[in-house]
Chains A and B, each alone.
Chain A
Amino acid sequence: MLMNLFKFKGGVKPPTNKTQSVGLPIAQAPLPSRLIVPLHQSIGGTPRPVVQAGDTVLKGQLIGEADGWISAAVHAPTSGTVVAVAMHVQPHPSGLDALCVVIEPDGKDQWIAREPLDYKTLKPEEVRERLQQAGVVGLGGAVFPTHGKLTPAKTVPMDELVINGAECEPFITCDDLLMRERAEEVVRGIGIFRDLLQPKKVLIGIEDNKPEAAAAMRAAIAALNESFLVIQVPTLYPAGGAKQLIRVLTGKEVPASKRSTDLGVQCFNVATAYTAWRAIAHGEPVVSRIVTLSGNVDQPRNYEVLIGTPMGELLKLAQPHPDTDGIVMGGPMMGFLVPNAEVPVVKATNCLIAHCDRLFPPKAPEMPCIRCGSCATVCPHELQPFEMYWFSRAKNFGKTQEYHIFDCIECGCCSFVCPSRIPLVQYFRFAKSEIWAREREKNAADGAKARFEFKQLRDEREKAEKAEKLAKAAAAQAAKKAAEAAAAAAADADEAAAPADVAPSAPVDAEKAAKMATIQAAIERAKAQREAAQPKNTEALSAQQQRDIAEIEARRTVLEPTTPEVVVPAGDNSQKTE
Chain B
Amino acid sequence: MMFAPAPFLLKDVSVNQVMTQVCLALIPGIAAYAWLVGPAILAQLVIASLAALLAEALMLRIQGKPQAMFLADGSAIVTAWLIALTFPPLAPWWLVVTGTFFAIVVAKHLYGGLGQNPFNPAMIAFAVCIVAFPALMSQWPGIGLQAGLIEQINVILGFAPRLDALSGATPLDALKTALKLGEGQVDVAHLLANQDIFGTFAGRGWEWVAAGYLLGGLWLWQRKIISWHVPLAFIGALTLISGGLWLYQPTQFASPLFHLFSGGAMLGAFFIATDPVSGCTTPRGKLIFGAGAGLLAYIIRVFGGYPDGVAFAILLMNLCAPVIDLLTQPPIFGMKDKA
Contacts and interface: CB of A to CB of B under 8 A. Distances in A.
B116 interface: yes
Nearest to A252: B334
A371 B73 CA distance: 15
Contacts of B335: 253, 255
B115 A370 contact: yes
A258 to B, nearest CB: 7
A337 interface: yes
Interface stretch (A221-229, A341-349, A374-382): A374-382
Given A364-B14, A386-B281, A407-B333, A335 B6 contact: yes
Contacts of B70: 367
Given A334-B6, A416-B7, A425-B6, A255 B332 contact: yes
Nearest to B73: A367
Given A370-B75, A382-B330, A407-B333, A333 B9 contact: yes
A93 B7 contact: no
Contact of A419 (B8, B13, B329): B13
B282 interface: yes
A12 interface: yes
Contact of B333 (A364, A371, A380, A429): A380
A362 interface: yes
Interface string B238-270: 000000000000000000000000000000000
B7 A415 contact: yes
A63 to B, nearest CB: 30
A68 B282 CA distance: 46
B11 interface: yes
Interface string B4-20: 11111111011101100
A412 interface: yes
> Interface residues of A toward B: which range?
35 or more
B66 to A, nearest CB: 7
Q: Which of B5, B113, B335 has the most CB of A within 10 A?
A: B5
B8 A335 contact: yes
Given A255-B333, A419-B18, A430-B1, A370 B6 contact: no
Interface in A411-440: 412, 415-421, 423, 425-426, 429-430
Contacts of B7: 14, 332-334, 412, 415-416, 425
Contacts of A337: 3-4
B114 interface: yes
Nearest to A366: B69
B14 A365 contact: no
A117 B297 CA distance: 78
A418 B17 CA distance: 12
A430 B5 CA distance: 12
Contacts of A404: 332
Interface residues of B, number: 38
B226 to A, nearest CB: 9
B276 interface: yes
Contacts of B132: none
B3 A417 contact: no
B277 interface: yes
B278 to A, nearest CB: 9
A170 interface: yes
B151 to A, nearest CB: 40
Contacts of A364: 14
Contacts of A417: 11, 13
B10 A373 contact: no
Given A255-B332, A380-B333, A419-B15, A170 B69 contact: no
Contacts of A403: 329
B331 interface: yes
A369 B75 CA distance: 12
Contacts of A530: none
Q: Which of A12, A380, A412 has the most CB of B within 10 A?
A: A412
B15 A370 contact: yes
A119 interface: no
Q: Which of A243, A372, A376, A381 has the most CB of B within 10 A?
A: A372
B336 interface: yes
A506 interface: no
A136 B69 CA distance: 51
Interface string B67-96: 001100101000000000000000000000
B135 interface: no
A253 B10 contact: no
A222 to B, nearest CB: 35
B76 to A, nearest CB: 13
Interface of A: 8-9, 12, 14-15, 93, 95, 170, 243, 247, 253-256, 258, 326, 328, 330, 332-337, 353, 355, 360, 362-365, 367-374, 376-377, 380-384, 386, 403-404, 407, 412, 415-421, 423, 425-426, 429-430
6 contacts: A332-B9, A333-B7, A367-B115, A370-B114, A383-B332, A425-B6
Interface of B: 1-11, 13-15, 17-18, 66, 69-70, 73, 75, 113-116, 227, 276-277, 281-282, 329-336
